[in-house]
Structure 1
Amino acid sequence: MSSNKGIHFEVSERKILLRILDVFAVLGGLYVIGYSFEFDYFIVTKENWTWSVVLAVYLTLFGSVFELYDLQKSSQLDTVFRNVILTVSITVLFYLLTPIVTPFLPIKRIQIIYFYLAIIGSIFLWRLVYITFFASSRFYKKVIILGEISNIDNVVNTITESDPNYKIIGFVNSEKLKIDTIKFKGLVEYLPEDLPRIIKTKNVSELVVAITNPNNITAQIYEQLTLLLKQGLTIREYTQVFEEITKRIPVQFVGKDFYKYFPF
């Protein structure tokens, strides 16, 4: 299942890349301002390398705290702006209060404001470029839906309309097969026993469970999900996905939490 993680960007290498580029963007912005304007509080030089290191440590530390490197949230402009403000505010505060390894406070206190705004501007401009040109394609996610045939249409439409980066390649009907079973023609239907093979061949990165009736979680489905979970596949409940991409809760799923029936 390790090969699947290489397809989707929720991996440590991508988060490290964001951290590195954030630091380079900030130091680059401060370098330009330091040599283009009357700004001498923070000068990027070899002699003052400790200033840059401390700033980079604080920036990446508080960026992690305020989810600046959450790959899903880093593709949403409003969320990124809020997280950048929070991260930079705390970073600058701690930086100013750190003695010895950081520069002395400037005589002109307004330079502190310039320092603060320069960091915000540098990160936000770089993240704006990232969201505009890279985020959409990089967050392309192949998923399979597991749920009752009666809800598949609504689930598929909601996910694809709310987040175009989701590509639903098929579904598994959790209801027991009957002679008069309703068929859904919009997607390929797979059998539960085919899940491991399909997930591997189609490079599926996530399985979304949209089961409203716990009785539809058969022993076969339970075993397959347990196996896939142990192999490292991301398995998420539909209400989680729905709330994340729409900022709302699906009324029809309230009180029918999948986690009550499947041990994570």
Structure 2
Amino acid sequence: MSIIDALVSGWLKAYGPWLFAAALAALRLIGFFVFAPALAGAVPWRFRVGLALLLGGLAASGPAPATAPSIAGWSAAIAEFAMGAATGIGVGLFIAGMRFAGEQLDRQLGLEEAAEPDPFSGGEAQPFGPATRLLGGLAVLTLLFGASATGRMPIVEGLLQTFSRIPPGGARLEDLAGGWLTSALAQSCELSLRVALPLLSALAIVHWAQALAARAAPLAPGSVIAHAVRPLLGLCVLAATFGGVDELAADRLSRWWTAFPRPF
């Protein structure tokens, strides 16, 4: 064996597990960056991949991967990507709930024709009014700068929890398919519905009351006042609902990783 072969062999033995762990961690982050709507369209793919590789190398400084870089490593790679994708989809469902509530407010206020480039779709011009853009931005700001017990951004805190609870290579396809992905996506849907349903319920109740009043007394002034009360009521309900969304999101995220079966 030559000196170069000996050096390469020694280097692989020393740094091979770390490189494999960094690759698995990067796959989890790539899955998140691909499916997270705030990053999928606005940030070029080169920056997303580079950021995933950089953060993957930092995240791999912990324990060694549980799966050796062999044939079993392919299933570990798929599981890591699926875990990151589920986290990104969960973030997307939360933002989708906020944007849907904003669309309903724009429709009530007659602002749905104010089309401007959507910052969450990579610059595509879509007919999103001011309320939709405002609530979508609030959702992103909540995920980025919301309250956290450690002072970190909620998204960063969630990603760090995934690596502390499940190290790179610790995920298993059978565990993900056994109900964790379904539970994570279901709780994301619940979170988005908790945001949008109170607003839709309040608007529907006022709309039904307006329809009944208009049928009983078409010339009554109450039916005219209801046109102004309905969007204002929606804003008040949404403001009251949004106050607890940050805590609910942190609680749901903590439950996801607590319920995940430990590989050790």
TM range (shorter): under 0.3
Instruction: Identify the structure with the greater helix proportion.
Output: 2
TM-score (norm 2): 0.26
